[in-house]
Amino acid sequence: MAEKNLSPRQKMINLMYLVLTALLALNVSAEVLHAFVKIEQSIRKSTKIIETKNSELYSRFAKLYQENPKKVQEWYNKAQGLKHNSDSLFNYIQYLKTKVVRAADGAEGNPAHIKHQDNNNVGGQVMILEKNGVKLKRAIKDYKKFLISIMNPKDRSGELASSLDSTFDVRDVKAEDGSMVPWEYAMFDQLPLIAVVANMSKIQNDIRMTENSFLSYLLEQIGAGEWKFNKLEPIVYAQKGYVLQGEPYEAKIFIAAYDTTQQPIVVLDNGTQLPVKNGKGIYKVQNASVGVHTYSGVIKLKSPATGEYVSYPFKGQFEVAAPSVAISPTKMNVFYIGVDNPVAITASGVPADALVVNIGPIGRIKKVGSGKYMVRVNKMGKTTISVSAKTGGQLRRLGSMQFRCKVVPDPKPQVGNLKPGPVMKADLLIQPFVMAKLENFVFDLKFPVVSFTVSATIGSFTQEEEARGPYITAKQKNLIRQLRPGQKVYFENIKARAPDGSIRELGTISFKIIR
């Protein structure tokens, strides 16, 4: 649980963390230190997200306890103990982070803004010589023992308990020469300060993620032995499925739970038993007359406690109307040249496969699903979609709608994630490519960069280096390395390929080196 349900973002952080730790063992360059700062920031951001989810689970626990104290008491108390122990260990690590940073940066040192990132002495001083590493290892072991203690005995050999050994592994580490190195030495000794802080942040992240897994586990224990549902599904229920203009529409939206291993029995008041699929009775009426129709019945479920069927009454209503057509662009009333423009077309009272859809001469339309179509246009102007229905062997016109055809606007070029203007040379050098981004647009379109030029004045001469494709070349980076504070570098003649295949010229981006 704690290990298998990691998000793609968390998996990326873990992988980058391992790669950068290996790089640190080889060479502590400015680029590696800067990358470690980014990873440490990502870990802290991930931790904040998990803390928000945990807060929601604790609120849910409090609400359940308020509604039924007797039923929830045991698991609520364990949840409070989990919060206390998790917060205590988390805050203790935060204290150690501050202590290590202040040993390098002074009394005002802040783990979120480390000045002496490459200091490789304070980690050993605070965590090894002052024995704080041993104390932290003992605290982690105590935390693992507590987590095991709040589980049901039958679950203490399961997957959740087993995951703790890998998540909080504080065993000695085998060195390259075959000797065993204490965990605290491997984590904190002779490492740059930023790596020491990142290691501590990683443990804090593991605490919050484990806390989340155990909170979910404790919630699952409430009501064990009662009704069991293994499938949740959102339901939108409207008492009336058709309204006239000016009338209010009202729907009830909720989550329905059902057991895929035990299907209910659904019976109408007239004695008809409905077919059931995925826990839902299927009520189907063919060729109903125009007007309002009502139906009612009962849903029968077998009680896990008594084995007897319990009945739950239901009722519903629908209205049959004469055919009409609705042509709805899923983005706006504009079609863009060179891209797929989705359109939804429905006709009340007409099956989707009976619709005949056509478009004007400057475009083509293709059906991609029930009531769903994709439009392609090839030049600017206006075009019209017309809809007819083929029923009873005859083709009946239902309606039409006109659309404007426009060119996709130019994207904005950018270098990595940097904004034009003042920039640190180190930040500019680690950017891998130039990209073109279309901001605040209805479609998620890609504009791959096909070429660009980097130019700067070195000495008394302007030098240029051209790149084919989006990636910044080694020659271009070498040109940037020669710049001094106060000098400017230009990314110009940036060209990108639009979705329609045309090449767009996107202008110039300039940066001023500040250090």
Q: Give 366-411 as a DSSP string.
A: EEEETTEEEEEE-SSEEEEEEEEEEETTEEEEEEEEEEEEEPPPPP
Pull the structure tokens for residue 513: 């080196």
Q: What is the pLDDT, as a whole number, of residue 1?
A: 41
State whether residue 105 is helix, strand or coil: helix
Label residue 247 by pLDDT band (50, 70, 90): very low
Residue 112, domain member (yes or no): yes
User: Is 243 a residue whose pLDDT tops 50?
Assistant: no
Cβ atoms 193, 98 nearer than 8 A: no
Number of separate domains in the chain: 4
Q: Which of 131-145, 248-262, 374-388, 451-465 has the lowest mean pLDDT?
A: 248-262
Q: Average pLDDT for residues 428-452, to the nearest whole number?
A: 91
Residue 252 has pLDDT above 90, yes or no: no
Q: Are 91 and 236 in a shared domain?
A: no
Q: What tokens appear for 340 in the block?
A: 């797929």
The full DSSP string for 240-306 is -S---TTS----EEEEEEE-TTS--EEEETTSPBPPEETTEE----SSPPSEEEEEEEEEEEE-TTT
| 25 within some domain | yes
Read off the tokens for 456. Answer: 């700067």
CATH number at residue 505: 2.60.40
Whether residue 402 contacts residue 382, with contact meaning beta carbons closer than 8 Å, is answered with yes
Are residues 184 and 52 located together in one domain of the fold? yes
User: Are 201 and 246 in a shared domain?
Assistant: no
Do 251 and 372 reside in the same domain of the chain?
no
Distance CA 266, CA 277 (A): 11
Position 257 in a domain:
yes
Q: Are residues 53 and 177 in the same domain?
A: yes
Asked if residue 1 is part of any domain, the answer here is: no
Choose between 247 and 332: higher pLDDT: 332
In a domain, 277, yes or no: yes
Same domain, 149 and 40: yes
Residue 440 burial (C-beta neighbours within 10 Å; 0-12, 13-18, 19+):
exposed
Distance CA 74, CA 341 (A): 56
pLDDT at 479 over 90: yes
Contact criterion met (CB below 8 Å) for 150 and 78: yes
Q: Are residues 246 and 374 in the same domain?
A: no
- Indicate whether 72 and 211 sit together in one domain: yes
- Both tokens assigned to 61: 């626990």
Last residue in a domain, options 406, 430, 455: 406
Rg (CA), the chain: 32
Q: Which residue segment(s) compose the domain that 339 sits in?
A: 324-406
Residues 162 and 257 in one domain: no
Q: Residue 331: is its pLDDT beyond 90?
A: no
Is the pLDDT at 165 greater than 50, yes or no? yes
Q: What is the mean pLDDT of the chain?
A: 84
Top pLDDT among 386 and 317 is at 386
Q: Say whether both 170 and 287 belong to one domain.
A: no
* Tokens encoding 251: 């729907």
Q: What is the mean pLDDT of residues 386-414?
A: 86
Question: For residue 383, what is the domain's CATH number?
Answer: 2.60.40.10
436: which strand partners? 413, 447
Using CB atoms within 10 Å of the CB of residue 266, give its burial: 0 to 12 exposed, 13 to 18 middle, 19+ buried.
buried
The two three-digit tokens of residue 17, written as one number: 């963390």
Report in angstroms the alpha-carbon separations of 454 from 320, 428, 462, 466, 497: 66, 12, 10, 6, 19
Sign of the torsion formed by the C-alpha atoms of 459, 464, 470 and 474:
negative
Has residue 345 got a pLDDT over 60? yes
Q: Which of 95, 101, 13 is nearest to 50 (CA)?
A: 13
If asked whether residues 244 and 200 sit together in one domain, one would say no
186 within a domain of the structure (yes/no): yes
What's phi and psi for 132, nearest 5 deg? -70, -25
Specify the DSSP element, H or E, that contains 332. none
Residues 196, 157 contacting (CB under 8 angstroms): no
Centre a 10 Å sphere on the Cβ of residue 496 and count the other Cβ atoms it contains: 25
Model confidence at 183: pLDDT above 70: yes
**Residue 94 banded pLDDT, cuts 50, 70, 90:** very high
pTM above 0.85, yes or no: no
Within-domain flag for 398:
yes
Tell which of 320, 348, 364 closes a domain.
Answer: 320
pLDDT at site 431 = 94
Judged against a pLDDT cut of 90, whether residue 468 lies above it is answered with: yes
State pLDDT tens for residues 99-111.
999 999 999 999 9
Residue range 4-11: mean pLDDT, rounded = 55
End position of a domain, from candidates 356, 376, 406: 406
Two structure tokens written together for 237: 């229920």
Contact at 8 Å (CB) between 312 and 298?
Answer: yes
Question: Are 62 and 137 contained in the same domain?
Answer: yes
DSSP-derived letter for residue 126 is: I
Extract the tokens encoding 436: 């073109």
Does residue 2 lie within any of the structural domains? Answer: no
For helices 193-221 and 69-105, angle between their N-to-C axes, nearest 10 degrees: 180
DSSP string of 32-59, one letter each residue: HHHHHHHHHHHHHHHHHHHHHHHHHHHH
Q: Which residue has the higher pLDDT, 471 or 288?
A: 471
pLDDT of residue 251: 66
Angle of the 193-221 helix axis to the 159-167 helix axis, nearest 10:
170
Phi, psi angle pair for 111, to nearest 5°: -60, -25
